[in-house]
Amino acid sequence: MDFSLTEDQAAIQSAIEELCAPFNDDYWLTKDNNGGFPDDFYAAIAKAGWLGIAMPEAYGGAGLGIAEAALMMETISGTGAGLSGASAVHMNVFGLHPVVVFGSDEQKQRWLPPIINGETKACFGVTEPNTGLNTLKLKTTAQRKGDRYVVNGQKIWISTAQVAHKILLLARTTPVDQVTSSTHGLSLFYTDLDRSKIDVREIQKLGRKAVDSNELFIDGLEIPVEDRIGEEGKGFQYILHGMNPERILLAAEATGLGKAALRKAAKYAADRVVFNRPIGMNQGIQHPLAERWVELEAATLLYQKAAWLYDNDHNCAAEANAAKFFASEAGFHACETAVLTHGGMGYAKEYHVERYMREAMLPRIAPVSPQLILCFIAEKVLGLPKSY
């Protein structure tokens, strides 16, 4: 059992660190204060070819696995870019996987190269204000009329919709009372984000101001039939193919953010002198930091195992969810400890750790709650009765 990075993986890590170096803490602090999508960062990632790291080579991607993609996302986050930097490219890495698996050759050729080369930005339209995590009860409708679908409804917490050109949209094509199975009746589309039919309203939020979150009001959006992925009514099954990779990537991002915070805290503890000695000499400071290191190491191993299972075509649902659960908590605890290590200065923006802690809340909440993950593991792994 080899736990070391391969030569190629080490090269990816090094290249991403070098690429991110100009986008330092001060860059992300400015973005956190002022907002605005990090276009120059996104363009740099695209120009270097990293947006297609897990996309097929036939369409311009690198053809690598989720293990390499997760390593890239941990590295981006770990440079201090945090969830702002990671979220700017997150959707491109995993979001169109349903297209890769279920799209036609014509759709792949039409949709994948623009995403890979950075010409097109996409957003992920699933969550709704009145259904939350109960995806099977989505209310946004797509009614077929000839060679088009007409969509009406709402979506919420849609990242990058302010700048996106396309939307991967899950909508109901068969009323819920007419389906033979609860997983049927939803269809998946990838289509233009037509702003004449979609009102995009930004949500002001706790952190990650550089990457917008939005509520979408959809009124009469027309989608050509050729923009439907796979068969009508099977969209829920298709979207599941993107969920496990997303959990793995988010686990990696949370781990990277925690490691960035731990690095800041350790340096501050070594440099800060109180009562004629560095505060890092005190076990009250040392022990919490050492515990966070242990937790982050465990989080790394957990997301790497989930990625290995996925890349080798094994069932990874439990491991992907466990990685997301554990890494999110480990990342947050590391950021919290970093703030406390800095004392009063941890509350000051110039030391960056308060920004890290605000961003560390996001993986704990989205895209699935820790409580629902525990319910899933209890049922699917431990064989306990379904509780929801």
Detail the DSSP E strand segments found in the chain: 122-125, 141-145, 148-159, 166-172, 186-192, 198-202, 213-224, 228-229, 273-274, 277-278
DSSP state of 59: G
Give the lowest-confidence range in 26-35, 118-127, 129-138, 360-369. Answer: 129-138
pLDDT at 320 over 90: yes
Strands 166-172 and 122-125: what pairing? Answer: parallel
DSSP state of 134: -
Q: Can you tell me the distance from the alpha carbon of 283 to that of 286, in angstroms, rounded to the nearest whole number?
A: 5
**pLDDT at residue 136 in the model:** 87
Q: Can you tell me the distance from the alpha carbon of 140 to that of 171, in angstroms, rounded to the nearest whole number?
A: 5
Which pLDDT band holds residue 309 (cuts at 50, 70, 90)? very high
**pLDDT at residue 249 in the model:** 97
With contact defined as beta carbons under 8 Å apart, do 211 and 37 qualify?
yes
Which whole number is the average pLDDT over 206-229?
98
Which whole number is the average pLDDT over 157-165?
97
Q: Can you tell me the distance from the alpha carbon of 279 to that of 61, in angstroms, rounded to the nearest whole number?
A: 48
pLDDT at 242 over 90: no
| CB-based burial, 250-275: b 16+ in 10 Å, e otherwise | bbbbbbbbbbbbbebbbebbeebeee
DSSP state of 384: P
Give the lowest-confidence range in 135-139, 151-155, 157-161. Answer: 135-139
pLDDT at 26 over 90: yes
In the chain, the amino acid numbered 290 is A
pLDDT at 92 over 90: no
Tokens of 39: 């276009």
Question: Helix, strand, or coil here: 319?
Answer: helix
Domains of the chain with bracketed CATH: 7-116 (1.10.540.10), 122-234 (2.40.110.10), 237-380 (1.20.140.10)
Give the lowest-confidence range in 70-79, 93-102, 114-123. Answer: 93-102
The pTM assigned to this predicted structure is 0.96
DSSP state of 366: S
Residue 195: φ, ψ to 5°: -75, -10
DSSP state of 26: H
> Hey, which residues does 228 pair with through a beta bridge?
189
pLDDT at 31 over 90: yes
How remote is the C-alpha of 60 from its chain's centroid? 22
pLDDT at 81 over 90: yes
